[in-house]
Structure 1
Amino acid sequence: MTLYVDVARLKAVWTQTTIPVVMRLGIGRPLSVRLPFAEGNGEWLKMGRRRDPKWNSNDRFWELPKAWLNTIVDRSLDRYGSVYVIQPYQEQEKCSPACMNAQGHECQCSCMGANHGAGNDGSWFEVSDAFACRWNEYTIACRLMKRLRALPGEA
């Protein structure tokens, strides 16, 4: 898996201290979680489960089982109102054989002309005469999620 990362943005998100950050970096690796400082963060992260979160004192973050991802994101949204989620993804490109094999300059395809007339170099999976796709290299996505609804008692 090749990862392309905007290191400056990732570092800025990871080192800020006001919004929780949940980072998932791949198969077999635990979640890395940073929370705004509060007494009892370890118990809050444990969520009443048998397994204790592991505190990494050198790098100052919590390690949690990857299976806890959805729960910790939901709980962070409820408690803090927002959470950064950092995780790998592969972008899918879409085009069509008609576009890739086109002779003229007019393109009405979703590639917006990027593949127009370039042919198929073997990296495209042609599903039909009207649709082809391919997956790009892995990269890291960093998104800020916000709670859409107010909790009872909030304005």
Structure 2
Amino acid sequence: MRIPTVYRPYRGRLHLRMPYRKDNRSWLKDRLGDRIRPEWVHATESHPGRWEIARNHLQPLVEALVERWGAVDVTLIYSTTEQCDTRCQNARGDDCTCSCLGLNHGHGFAGQWTQVGDTTLVQHEYTKVTRRITG
């Protein structure tokens, strides 16, 4: 038997894949409430079919999947936005009190850094964490 998977992108609805059963839609409504509006997204060449569910149902969904299937693989995408300062990145010498803790000190702010103020720089990155939850 396959293990269901839940994927929470940085933005947007949860993606749920679980083994087929005729009652999957009614089971989701029973477990997450009558007002839930699970949407079935049909498979394409590059993606298998999946359910899409509102993000606020993550915790009860995971608990229900573990109860029904014994385990679920959960993948969460987090923003790990870094912040630095042009004064740090353009600095000379080794004295740095910036939030990057000296990592970018004196390197200039080329590449993926975006200036968002007089001196503040941000760099957007995302981290993916996957865990298997079991009962």
Global fold match (TM > 0.5): yes
Q: Which runs of 4+ in 1 moved over 6 A?
A: none
7, 23, 40: which one pairs with 1:54? 40
**Equivalent in the alignment of 2:91:** 102
Instruction: Name the aligned partner's letter for residue 116 of structure 2.
Output: F
Q: How many residues align?
A: 123
112, 122, 129: which one pairs with 1:134? 122
Task: Tell me how far apart the structure 1 counterparts of residues 43 and 108 of structure 2 sit (CA, whole Å).
Answer: 53
CA apart distance, 1:34: 0.8
Task: Tell me how far apart the structure 2 counterparts of residues 140 and 100 of structure 1 sit (CA, whole Å).
Answer: 24
Instruction: Name the aligned partner's letter for residue 116 of structure 1.
Output: H
Task: Tell me how far apart the structure 2 counterparts of residues 56 and 126 of structure 1 sit (CA, whole Å).
Answer: 44
State the TM-score, normalizing by the size of structure 2: 0.56
Gaps of 5+ in 2: none
Q: Output the aligned Cα RMSD.
A: 4.1
Task: Tell me how far apart the structure 2 counterparts of residues 39 and 133 of structure 1 sit (CA, whole Å).
Answer: 51
Gaps of 5+ in 1: 1-15, 148-153
Q: Percent identity?
A: 23
Instruction: Name the aligned partner's letter for residue 32 of structure 1.
Output: H
Task: Tell me how far apart the structure 1 counterparts of residues 133 and 83 of structure 2 sit (CA, whole Å).
Answer: 29
Task: Tell me how far apart the structure 1 counterparts of residues 42 and 50 of structure 2 sit (CA, whole Å).
Answer: 6
22, 27, 41: which one pairs with 2:24? 41
